[in-house]
Amino acid sequence: MSQAASKRKDICFSYTVEDGADVFEQKSRCLHDATPPCIAACPIEMPIRSILSKLESGDVDRAALEFLDKAVLPATIAQFCEGYCENACVRTRLDEPIKMRELELFLYKGGYELPKKRPLPINKGKRICIVGISIVGLTCALLMLRKGYSVDLIEPSENLESAHDELSSISKDIFRLGVLEDYRLLQSYDHFFATFGKSFDFKNTVNYEAILLPHDHALPSGEPSDKQDNADYEDSLFKAIQQEGTLLVYIKDVNDVVEQIALGKEISKTIDQFAKHKIIIAPRTRESISAQFPISDQVKKEYSAVVPPITMLEVASEEAGRCLQCNCDLCMNACTLMKQGRMDPPYYIVEAQQSLKTQRRLHDKLNIRRVCGCNQCGLCREICPTDVDMGSVYRRSREIMQATNEMPEVFYDFWLRDLADNEEHAFVMTPDSRETVKYLYFPGCHLGSSNPNYVLQSYRYLLDQFDQDVAIDIHCCGAEAIWAGKQDMACGISNRFLDSWKSLGHPIVITACSSCRKYLSAISDAIHTISLWEVLDSNLFLPDEKSHREGTLTLFDPCSSRYFPQEQQAVRSLLEKSGVEFADFPGVPDHALCCGFGGLIYPANPKLFFEILQDRTSQSDLPYLTYCANCNDAFLWWGKDCNHLMDLLFDMESKKHFSHAKDISDRRKNRRALRRSIREDIFMGADSETIESHESIHLILTEEMRRKMMSQLILDSDIQRVIEQAERFNNRVSRNGFFVSYLMIGAVTVWVEYSVIDENTFDVRNVYSHRMKITGDQQHVG
Amino acid sequence: MSDNPSIKSPLFCERCKQELELKEVRLEYLGNTFSHIFPQCPTCHFVYISEEIVESKIKEVEMLLEEK
């Protein structure tokens, strides 16, 4: 399945995995605070980010101590490590890897000494025996000494220098410059005892907790150790056998110096655990990072690699500063919701998990503003290197909250009533009443309500282009039901569409809104969709000259266009051919953003809604151009100079009696006007629209009042209804010559202060609303 | 909740032709109930809630309850 197709597949309904498990699985994929490639590659898990961060800021002391502590044998590491981290360094994708080995040498030569910690009293008097000098053995010995154990080293060679002859696996240089140097660290402990020139004899064993032996050393029985079949623990690197309360550890050959140190660390942990609990716990396996670790745009990239050797702090700091401090923060930087929360990505998942619980305990904190603040734009999943999908988690949360009656009704009430209004008057019409068609034009419910001309002009074009073989369907695609978490409603809508589409003969669906396209495509793979823009572009459409706009425009791709790159391309092609100058939206490069409307976050999270609008509209001083009615109207409402692509393609002036909607009340009017016009002007039929009684009321409203109504999602018709019942039943109070009444409409109570001009005309002084209900008062419910 | 701000001029119920009186009224939201003193018609029980109270108190409580 192509990438675009697989993204479409699980957009809305197919959240079939067990919710809780899936959420945690996503959390485990999150790369934030995951081990970066350099540390994952290092056998001893050197804390590279931390050391480099300290070094960059000049905190050499702490950087050095951190290095010494983790290296255990610092001379050996600093001089002879092969640089696993450098091979895995993400910075290599920009220029060169961080010169970690040079920096470690710099720290090592600083002459720092690890302060001795006070040994644990529990370990006092416990003894370990290391047989033969080896890197594994010395590492283990040092770590045990740090913990307060006493260590006996028994080396058969006559002296330290000649011990090298026994060690075939390391070179003379490593022994001389590394091992011998690090050996002095052991000598600084007063509970370290070395005996040379003697072989290890099991009979002379003191009460050791553990004895570390080379793999070819004999068992206490005298047999070779590989004859022992039932080891208490065995893996490829060491074998452990319990013998009367002592742990015998046989080390196998390991080639690489750093791997040997890593093995020594593992063994010291095993011995320590055995000494405490007399059981053997297998060491954990190192994690590996397979995903491509992303490079954040926020990091500094300007430094260039230094030329070794590094002898000065300024040079070391600069090199350390080249470290990208790999920690994936792509979603946090791209998504306004995640940026605003200021939490690390995995915590968003944990927090969202609260809302997925169908039975929540009292102290489980659900962050409803965040769940209902997600625009459902899909950017997080697109940008995440491991496809973590916060959007789907939040969508599912809303579904569960609706199902358990935990969603405050007011959050989606207005939009769902608006959807119901659209559906009540929606229809499918075919030219000449034909049964099947080749094309179905699905403009979406907001395009026509924004401006009826958008739908009328484009539909006329399609009818002409395709020889009348185009039906029109002005239902809703179900996006808003999905965003509101109303699963059943959404399923009803998509089933209706599917049935209608089948009975029309499986036509190709032409969309004029990429969100519609996203949700219609997800209903069935059999539904083929194409955007109006692709149709226009491929049919060599020439825009109306009168519609041309001079100057450069900033092109804002609507969020759902991310799933349809061919649509984005077609738009650009149309603009180029029309001679329109445009620039791409800065925002997050190469990624479409949400305008703020998506996900219906207003009124559930107004603060975030305003923040997003402010951010989007201030990214460029140029006028905006977009091809989604919601984006266009959201920007216009915020005061931004913006056009819909339709404005530039078709002549909007020819039908003067339609105007662009300035607010939600205009949209309702436009919706009815569009239906009327399609029925009467295109299909030459009659429109059977009934006028309700309250609609005959004429309101005098100032601009300011309209803006106030818009922000509280109150319609003209709501006010008409309040006044109508107030006048008819005298349900009103008066003060100073004006009247006040209220009515419960949907989830809110709407108050209107008005004065009477004449029988049908009212001057609206003030409008306000609240969500609380007045109890025990039934007569004012609308 | 504090008391209502002082009324500038009396509120008059048009239906019952009488002045509203301060009474304790119960409001409800998301399963929680509150009492507060509001002008109310003694006959038809029309309750008057001013915009000031909505902006100063009611909105805040509604927001808190939604986030609970």
The answer to whether the Cβ–Cβ distance between B54 and A768 falls below 8 Å is yes
Q: What is the DSSP string of A140-165?
A: HHHHHHHHT-EEEEEESSSSTGGGGG
Domain that holds residue B39: 1-68
**Cis before A603 (ω within 30):** yes
Residue of A nearest to B47 (CA): A774
> What is the average pLDDT across A332-354?
87
Contacts 24+ apart (CB under 8 A), A733-736: A733/B11, A733/B12, A733/B13, A733/B14, A733/B20, A733/B41, A733/B46, A733/B48, A734/B11, A734/B12, A734/B14, A735/B8, A735/B9, A735/B10, A735/B11, A735/B12, A736/B8, A736/B9
Q: Which of A81-85, A285-289, A539-543, A623-627 has the lowest mean pLDDT?
A: A285-289
User: How far is CA A699 from each of CA A53, A309, A666, A738, rounded to the nearest angstrom?
Assistant: 66, 82, 14, 15
A446: CB partners within 8 A, 6+ apart: A513, A629, A630, A633, A667
Picking from A406, A714, A733 by the largest number of B CB atoms within 10 A of its own CB, the best residue to mutate is A733
What's the pLDDT at B7?
52
What tens digit of pLDDT does each residue of A226-254 get?
Answer: 766 677 778 778 888 888 888 999 998 88
CB B7 within 8 A of CB B13: no
What's the pLDDT at A364?
63
What's the pLDDT at A697?
93
B8: confidence class by pLDDT, cuts 50, 70, 90: low
Within 10 Å of residue A327's Cβ, how many Cβ atoms?
Answer: 16
What's the pLDDT at A347?
87
Q: What sign results for the dihedral spanned by CA atoms A720, A722, A725, A728?
A: negative
B51: nearest CB among A739, A766, A772: A766
Q: What is the DSSP string of A585-650?
A: --SSTT-----S-GGGHHHHSHHHHHHHHHHHHTS-SSPEEES-HHHHHHHHHTT--EEEHHHHHS
CB pairs under 8 A between A and B: 77
Structural domains counted in chain B? 1
Q: Which of A146-150, A364-368, A406-410, A517-521 has the lowest mean pLDDT?
A: A364-368
B12: nearest CB among A411, A733, A780: A733
A21: confidence class by pLDDT, cuts 50, 70, 90: low
Residue type, A103: L
Q: What percent of chain A has pLDDT over 70?
A: 92
Report the CATH number that the domain containing residue B16 is assigned in CATH.
Answer: 3.10.20
A167: confidence class by pLDDT, cuts 50, 70, 90: low
CA angle A273, A211, A184 (to 5 degrees): 95
Is pLDDT above 70 for A5? no
> What is the average pLDDT across B3-16?
74
What tens digit of pLDDT does each residue of A683-737 get?
Answer: 888 777 777 888 889 999 999 999 999 999 999 999 999 999 999 999 999 998 8
Within 10 Å of residue A129's Cβ, how many Cβ atoms?
Answer: 24
More confident residue, A656 or A468: A468
What tens digit of pLDDT does each residue of A627-674 get?
Answer: 999 999 999 999 999 999 999 999 887 656 788 999 999 999 999 999
A119: confidence class by pLDDT, cuts 50, 70, 90: confident
| ipTM of the complex in this document | 0.92
Measure in Å the smallest separation between the Cα of A774 and chain B Cα atoms. Answer: 5
What's the pLDDT at B3?
44
CB A373 within 8 A of CB A601: yes
Is pLDDT above 70 for A753? yes
Q: In this structure, what is the dihedral angle of CA atoms A195, A197, A200, A201, given to the nearest 10 degrees?
A: -110
Is pLDDT above 50 for A148? yes
Q: Which of A80-89, A543-552, A592-601, A660-669 has the lowest mean pLDDT?
A: A543-552
